[in-house]
Structure 1
Amino acid sequence: MDTKAVVTRYYELANAGSWDAWCDLFAADQVMDEQLAGHVEGREKLRAMMAGFPGMYASFRNQPKELIVENDRAAVVSHISAVTPGGGRIEADVMNYFRVVDGAITYMANFHDTQPFRAALQTTA
């Protein structure tokens, strides 16, 4: 898959809740700088982290609004709408940066306001 196809698939799988297949989009030695989870290295560490993700949200959507691709790099502006099992609501605009090599995400970083997540996730504790 080319960069645009990989990044498009990233959002399709996330919105379908197919987290194992979503993790398969990443290279084995991937590096992620995630706003809430921090620095994550390795696909299997990411897979273990994502195993708990479905329990954090009763619903989760990350809708791309704008996608810019240049060779092996992509930037996506998106909007997350989520609800926690305790009813906490999350609405947040997000900026994701991707590097894709040989059809796999080798690096990803996301940037967003963490407050909507912290407030909503605290209502589940």
Structure 2
Amino acid sequence: MDTREVVDSYYRLANAGDWDAWCDLFAAEQVMDEQLAGHIEGQETLRNMMKGFPDMYASFANRPQHIVVDGDEAAVVSRISAVTSSGGRIEANVANYFRVTGGRITYMANFHDTVPFRAALTPEGDK
């Protein structure tokens, strides 16, 4: 897959809730700087982390609004709309940066306002 295909697959699989296939998009030695989860190294670490994701959210959608691809790099502005398992609603704009090598994501970073995610992080945030 080229960079655009990897990025398109990233959002398609996330929106389908296919987290195992989503994790397969990442290289074995991937590095991710995730705004909420922090620094994550390794595909298996990411896969283990994502096992709990379906329990956190009753629904989750991350829809790209603008995609820019330049060789093995991509930047995406997207919109997350989600509902936590306890009913908290999340609406947040996100910017993701991707580096793709050999058809796999080797580095990714995301940036967003953390306030809308309080509902997913703490029970008090659901109120």
Tell me the TM-score normalized by structure 2.
0.95
The reply to whether residue 38 of structure 1 matches residue 43 of structure 2 is no
Q: Report the aligned-residue RMSD.
A: 0.9
Give the structure 1 partner of residue 105 of structure 2. 105
Kindly provide the CA deviation profile for residues 62-117 of structure 1, in whole angstroms up to 9, marking residues without a partner as x: 00000000000000000000001111000000000000000000000000000100
Give the structure 2 partner of residue 71 of structure 1. 71
Q: 1:79 to 1:60 in 2, by over 3 A?
A: same
5+ residue gaps, structure 1, are none
Aligned length: 124
Tell me the TM-score normalized by structure 1.
0.97
* Secondary structure at 1:30 match in 2: strand
Q: Distance in 2 between matches of 1:34 and 1:13?
A: 18
Identical-residue share of aligned pairs (%): 73
Superposition pairs for residues 1-125 of structure 1, below 5 Å? Answer: 1-123=1-123
Mapped contact 1:66–1:77 kept (Cα < 8 A):
yes
* One-letter amino acid matched to 2:71: N
5+ residue gaps, structure 2, are none
* One-letter amino acid matched to 2:117: F
Q: Distance in 1 between matches of 2:122 and 2:37?
A: 15
The structure 1 segments of at least 4 consecutive aligned residues displaced by more than 6 Å after TM superposition are none
Q: Distance in 2 between matches of 1:122 and 1:52?
A: 15
Mapped contact 1:88–1:121 kept (Cα < 8 A):
no
* One-letter amino acid matched to 1:27: A
* One-letter amino acid matched to 1:70: D
Larger mean Cα displacement after TM superposition, 43-52 or 111-120: 111-120
* Secondary structure at 1:6 match in 2: helix
